[in-house]
């Protein structure tokens, strides 16, 4: 029989999985369940838009949503999680200026901490590289690029100028490809303000360890993306690993050295130290869960999103049998998890998570993209437009959707010569 006491559901993490689990629980359970979300920040960052923020094609507010505004009936606690005691069902956190320790009990625990960037396996990379995990990172990348152009415009030393005008992105997955596309677009649109820089002197390099970029997409779409980026001047080095990174530049596993002032790493996802410290089963750095999103061997502990290894069917064999770390999957996982928590509280059996991808897509910058939508393969402007529409649908908050739609429309009008001004994200180096 289900308990009549109000159950406490505590969600760890303010990312996509955690935020939408709380949102769906609000809608389903109302005030009959106490939902508390613990996050290091009081806002949610929509990470797929960060490359566009770095490129100045959307306003940073488009990618950020205040948690308390989006989740008005959820208890939001901004704190650092110090320890999760699964045996006593107590979470230890520190918060506030005095870093006071608080203990938070739970009846159901949702782990939605995502993954962190760990670049330690490549010597020197963590010291030199910029990453793309939050809005501050997007600003750093944008300001780094514009700062290099400013200095290169005045530089008289040819070697120094060459170093300033070389931009390297490591990693040919979605984040790396979308980042290099936005970097190229930003530099292309900005160079007219720097008359002493020859566009032919700019080098934008994408390094991919695998045989092709975008391994998540069908081969011919990855080939289209490769050709489109190369036509725009991006050098793509395939089957190339990074051996070391130093003040002298990036040394590849083939012995070549690329000297660059700007290095962006779009690799190195790993389990967070907190997840590793918890007594939960891990496989490939992700929490092992069953098809109901329950952590194996633990009662009332659930996980979803990037930090969970979620089977899509029984009798698993390959990577395709697990949910990929994509926003559309996290959204569906959150909805299924909220329903299963409510079922569990009511004493009912949970239902397995089932979801077939609507498609996979990537932006290449310059209003070009690649997409596989329900088996239909699209490239160019239609794919980019589909990419924009998908993220418009997934963005949390009506205000964010309106701003993102207006930014996209104005940028498109500007590109077609209809509008005279386009919106850009704030930066320390205004153009």
The yes-or-no verdict on residue 170 having pLDDT over 90 is yes
Q: 250-262, pLDDT tens digit by residue?
A: 999 999 999 999 9
Work out the widest C-alpha separation in the chain, in whole angstroms: 79
348 backbone dihedrals φ, ψ, rounded to 5°? -105, 165
Dist CA 416 CA 42 (whole Å) = 38
- In total, the chain counts a number of residues equal to 431
Mean pLDDT of 281-301: 95
Helix H or strand E segment including 161: helix 158-164
* pLDDT score for 319: 65
pLDDT-above-90 percentage for the chain: 72
Contact call for residues 373 and 358 (beta carbons, < 8 A)? yes
Dist CA 415 CA 405 (whole Å) = 15
Reported as a pLDDT band with limits 50, 70 and 90, residue 424 is very low
Dist CA 114 CA 303 (whole Å) = 10
CA angle 258, 261, 264 (to 5 degrees): 85
Least confident of 111-125, 131-145, 267-281, 380-394: 380-394
Reported as a pLDDT band with limits 50, 70 and 90, residue 409 is low
The yes-or-no verdict on residue 278 having pLDDT over 90 is yes
Dist CA 352 CA 197 (whole Å) = 57
Helix H or strand E segment including 404: helix 398-415
Mean pLDDT of 257-274: 95
Reported as a pLDDT band with limits 50, 70 and 90, residue 367 is confident
Q: pTM (2 decimals)?
A: 0.87
């Amino acid at each position: 029989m289900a308990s009549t006491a109000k159950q406490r559901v505590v969600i760890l993490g303010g990312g996509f999985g955690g935020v939408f689990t709380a949102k769906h629980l609000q809608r389903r359970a109302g005030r009959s369940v106490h939902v508390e979300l613990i996050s290091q920040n009081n806002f949610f960052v929509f990470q797929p838009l960060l490359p566009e923020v770095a490129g100045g094609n959307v306003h940073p507010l488009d990618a950020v949503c205040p948690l308390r505004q989006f989740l008005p009936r959820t208890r939001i606690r901004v704190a650092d999680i110090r320890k999760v005691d699964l045996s006593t069902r107590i979470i230890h956190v520190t918060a506030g200026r005095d870093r006071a320790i608080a203990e938070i009990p739970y009846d159901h625990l949702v782990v939605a901490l995502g993954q962190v960037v760990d670049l330690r396996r490549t010597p020197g990379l963590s010291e030199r590289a910029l990453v793309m995990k939050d809005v501050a990172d997007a600003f750093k990348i944008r300001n780094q690029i514009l700062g290099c152009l400013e200095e290169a415009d005045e530089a008289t030393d040819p070697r120094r100028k060459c170093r300033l005008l070389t931009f390297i992105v490591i990693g040919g997955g979605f984040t790396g490809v979308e980042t290099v596309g936005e970097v190229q677009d930003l530099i292309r649109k900005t160079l007219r303000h720097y008359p002493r820089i020859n566009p032919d002197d700019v080098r934008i390099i994408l390094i991919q360890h695998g045989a092709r970029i975008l391994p998540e997409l069908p081969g011919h779409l990855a080939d289209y993306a490769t050709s489109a980026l190369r036509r725009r001047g991006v050098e793509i080095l395939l089957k190339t690993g990074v051996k070391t990174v130093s003040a002298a530049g990036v040394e590849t596993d083939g012995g070549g050295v690329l000297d660059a002032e700007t290095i962006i790493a779009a690799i190195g996802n790993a389990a967070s130290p907190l997840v590793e410290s918890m007594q939960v089963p891990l496989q490939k750095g992700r929490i092992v869960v069953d098809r109901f999103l329950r952590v194996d061997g633990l009662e009332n502990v659930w996980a979803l999103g990037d930090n969970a290894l979620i089977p899509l069917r029984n009798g698993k064999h390959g990577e395709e049998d697990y949910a990929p770390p994509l926003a559309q999957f996290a959204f569906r996982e959150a909805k299924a998890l909220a329903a299963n928590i409510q079922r569990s509280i009511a004493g009912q059996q949970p239902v397995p998570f089932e979801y077939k991808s609507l498609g996979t897509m990537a932006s290449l910058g310059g209003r070009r993209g690649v997409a596989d939508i329900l088996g239909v393969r699209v490239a160019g402007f239609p794919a980019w437009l589909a990419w924009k529409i998908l993220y418009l649908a997934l963005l949390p908050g009506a205000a964010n959707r309106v701003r993102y739609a207006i930014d996209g429309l104005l940028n498109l009008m500007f590109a077609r010569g209809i509008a005279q001004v386009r919106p850009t994200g704030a930066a320390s180096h205004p153009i």
